[in-house]
Amino acid sequence: MLFNAVHNSLPPNIDIDHAILRGEDHPPTCAKCVARGRISALGSLDLRYHSLRCYAAPPDVGRCEFVPPRRRVLIANQGLDVSRLPPTGTVTLLLADVEESTHLWQMCPEDMATAIAHLDHTVSEAITNHGGVQPVKRYEGDSFVAAFTRASDAAACALDLQRTSLAPIRLRIGLHTGEVQLRDELYVGPTINRTARLRDLAHGGQVVLSAATGDLVTGRLPADAWLVDLGRHPLRGLPRPEWVMQLCHPDIREKFPPLRTAKSSPTSILPAQFTTFVGRRAQIS
């Protein structure tokens, strides 16, 4: 679908699409990326899409060394902005929603309509400014998702969003890094699910990160920003708990109530403890 969108957007007199369809230069180009773990399959659609993504990637992120000069010229001449296509592979996801959105819509629908329009503009601008991409304008309800090739860019974007006046809206933001897959221009799989559960832990105005993202942004945070360790917490519907961190800055609120975790016993996230009495109930009764 993604490749078809790019293919259909090109003028009829351009033949870059036909070169891609013929598979020219794909094996030597993308085999290198496969070896580095940038793509996991050699399906024809994956190769066509990845060839465009390789050219668009910033030099410090890394791309295929070999991009045919003719193809480079064709892409440049036609102004094909392939950098705005959703990235795949290992990315950092930013998932946010509006705290108490349903209540706000019921209490002040006109104010919310204005606030959501302002939010849409603010979100789009912040994501673009930090090199992120939105697969879709809306994710679920008043929530949105963005993908970044650098975790530090995702953190900077989250801070910018929380530092912007969005009243009466308050955003809950979760960040997590992992492998993602696209299906009908939506991210699917464990990474997006874990990011959503992280976001659900947060309060309005709060940014929470997974340990994976926290490790990546350490030493690369925006000026005056820091991380606070919030400990290990279970995530609703997921078997593995997550070590959660909070992204802080002098310009945003730092103190919040405890994370919104489901009530559970201290042993609920521990493996079952088996003893030699398993299967011997009759003997010990």
Higher pLDDT, 268 or 88: 88
Closest of 245, 224, 221, 228 to residue 155, by C-alpha: 221
Q: DSSP assignment, residue 137? A: S
Residue 212 has pLDDT above 80, yes or no: yes
Residue 18 main-chain phi, psi, to 5 deg: -70, -35
| 277 vs 223: which has the higher pLDDT | 223
Per-residue pLDDT tens digits for 229-256 = 999 999 988 888 999 999 999 999 999 9
Whose CA is closest to 249, among 166, 173, 158, 174?
A: 158
Residue 123: what pLDDT? 94
Instruction: Tell me the three state secondary structure of residue 266.
Output: coil
Q: How confident is the model at residue 183 (pLDDT cuts 50, 70, 90)?
A: confident
Contacts 24+ apart (CB under 8 A), 71-74: 71/16, 71/19, 71/25, 74/14, 74/15, 74/16
Non-local CB neighbours of 243 within 8 Å, separated by 6+ positions: 210, 211, 214, 229, 231, 232
Average pLDDT estimate for 200-213: 97
pLDDT of residue 140: 67
Q: Which domains does the chain have, with CATH numbers?
A: 87-246 (3.30.70.1230)
- pLDDT of 222 over the 50 cut: yes
The answer on pLDDT for 28 being more than 60 is no
pLDDT at 251: 96
pLDDT band at 224 (very low <50, low <70, confident <90, very high): very high
pLDDT at position 139 is: 58
